[in-house]
Amino acid sequence: MYRIFLFLLLSYSVSAQNDSTFIRSVYNTALSDGEAYEDLRSLCKDIGARITGSAEAEMAVLWGKSKMEEYGFDKVYLQEIQVPHWERGTKEAGWIKTNKGEIIKVHLLALGGSIGTNGTMEADIIEFNSLEDLKKANSKQVEGKIVFINQPMDEQQINTFRAYGGCYAIRGFGAVEASKLGAKAVLIRSLGLPIDEHPHTGSMHYVDTVERIPAAALSTLDAEKLSEVLTNGSAKFVLEMDCRAYPDATSYNVIGEMTGTESPEEIITFGGHLDSWDTGEGAHDDGAGIVHCLEALRILKTLNYRPKHTLRLVFFMNEENGNRGGQSYAKIVSDLGEKQIAAVESDRGGFAPRGFHCDGEENYVQLLETFEEDLTHYDLHVFEKGYGGVDISPLKKYYPEIPLFGFVPDSQRYFDFHHAPSDVFENVNKRELELGAAAIASLLFLLDKNL
C-alpha cells in the first residue's frame, strides 16, 4: 500500500511540475515571441470598425479566415448565418437652445437600432434622473417633448460591470418608456464613468406595440452641461439623425480547430466576437478578445501541444446588436449532434488579466479553483462562480450542463472606451494584451487535461 501511495504521489508531483513548466513556456512565448499586438493592429487599422452588415465586417471575416490559415490550424472554415443590418447614416448632430438664446453644440451618437429623425427635430427637453423616475411621470409632463435620462453609472462600485448593469436599462428601454408617455425622442447619458466628450453607443430595443422614437446618447460631459442648463431654466433641443435599417444580410462565424488526439468528438469552444460598433475601431470590444483567443491557439500549436479534446476557436459575428452568431452556432452544433464539453469567452477588454469566472455546476467551479495554484504566479487570483459571456451563453439552451468560462481582466478602464470613438488600437497596452492571451492559452491547456 505504501508503494502505491508513493507512486501516486510522485506521479502527481511530476504532472504538476509538467503543468507548471508548460504554462511557463506559454507565457514566455506570448511575451517574447507573440503575435497578438500586431494582429490587433492589423484588425483595427487594416479593417477598422466592423458593424454587422458592413463592408468592414465582410472584410473582417476574410481577415479572420486568412489568419487562421496562416497559423496552420487543423481545420479552418466559415459558418453561414443571417444578421441584422443597421446603418448610422449621416453623422448625428445636436444642439441645446437655452431660454437665453444661447446655442450649445453637443457630442452624441445614435443608439444602435434607432430610427432617424426624418430631418431636423426640435422640442422642449425634460430631464429625469433615472428610468424609474421616467416611469412614474405622466403624459402631460412628457408629451411632445424630448426626454433626457441623466442616470450616471455608480462610481462607488468596485467592479465597473456591476455599475454598467445598474444603468443599462436606460439605454435598452429608455425609448420605449419615453414613447409610452408621448415623447418625440429620448436622449440618455452615455454609459461611461469618465466625464469626457466621447459619447457611447450601444444596442437599444423597441416593442411592436409602442411607437418608435429616435434614441441617442450624449457624452457624459454634455450630459452634465445639459443638466446644468435645465437646472437654471427651460431649454429646447435640436436633433438630427439619419439612421436606417435594411433587410438581414448574410455573414459568417469564422472557425478554426486543433483536432483532439484522444476524444476528438468532444469539443471545447472558445472565442470572442468579430463585429464591433461603427465608432472607434472595436479595439477592446472585442478586437482584444478575438486576438486573445487567436493567439492562445497559435501558442499551443507553436509549442507542439496536441490536445486530448478538439479545441475550436470561433470568431462570432453579431454579438453587439443581435447575438445571431452565438445563437446560430449553438443551434447548428446541437443539430449536428456535437458533444460540447466546455466553452470559454473573452469579451471584457484587453486589460491586465485577473482570472476567470465559471457559469456551471459546483464541480466545475471547484475544478476552476484548482487551477489557481498553477496560475497565481501570473497575477491571476479570480477563480469563482460568475458569468461566461454573451456569445457562448446560447449553448446552455442545448447543453444545459455545459460549463461556461469567462475571462476576467481588470475592469477599471473598460468603460472609458466601451462603444465609444476612443476604443482604438492606441488605447490597448501591448503587455496586458499578451498576458491575456497567455492566460487563456493556459486555461485551455488545463481544461483540456482535466475535463
Residue 439: Cβ within 10 Å count: 29
For the record, the C-alpha cell of 255 comes out as: 472557425
Q: Are 417 and 10 in contact (CB under 8 A)?
A: no
User: What's the burial of 426, exposed, middle or buried (CB within 10 Å: 0-12/13-18/19+)?
Assistant: exposed
* Spatial separation of the C-alpha atoms in residues 69 and 66, rounded to whole Å: 5
Nearest CA to 160 among 448, 409, 439, 332? 409
Residue 412, all three cell numbers:
477599471
Alpha helices of 232-371 — where are they, by DSSP H?
Answer: 288-302, 324-335, 362-370
Can you read off the three cell numbers belonging to residue 442?
A: 493556459
Residue type at position 411: S
Angle between helices 288-302 and 55-70 (to 10 degrees): 10
Across 274-433, the runs of DSSP E, i.e. the strands, are 309-316, 339-345, 353-359, 382-385, 404-409
Amino acid at 157: Q
d(CA 351, CA 439): 12
The Cα angle at residue 99 between residues 98 and 104, in degrees rounded to 5: 15
- Selecting among 240, 281, 319, 434, the annotated active-site residue is 319
Dihedral in degrees, nearest 10, Cα atoms 374, 377, 382, 387? -60
Q: Is 319 a catalytic residue?
A: yes
Taking each helix axis as running N to C, give the angle between helix 288-302 and helix 430-450, from 0 to 180 degrees, rounded to the nearest 10.
Answer: 60
What nine digits make up the cell of 352? Answer: 491586465
Could you check whether the bond before residue 286 is cis, i.e. omega within 30 degrees of 0? yes
Q: How many CA atoms, within 13 angstroms, populate the side-chain half-sphere of residue 336?
A: 13
Give the active site residues: 319
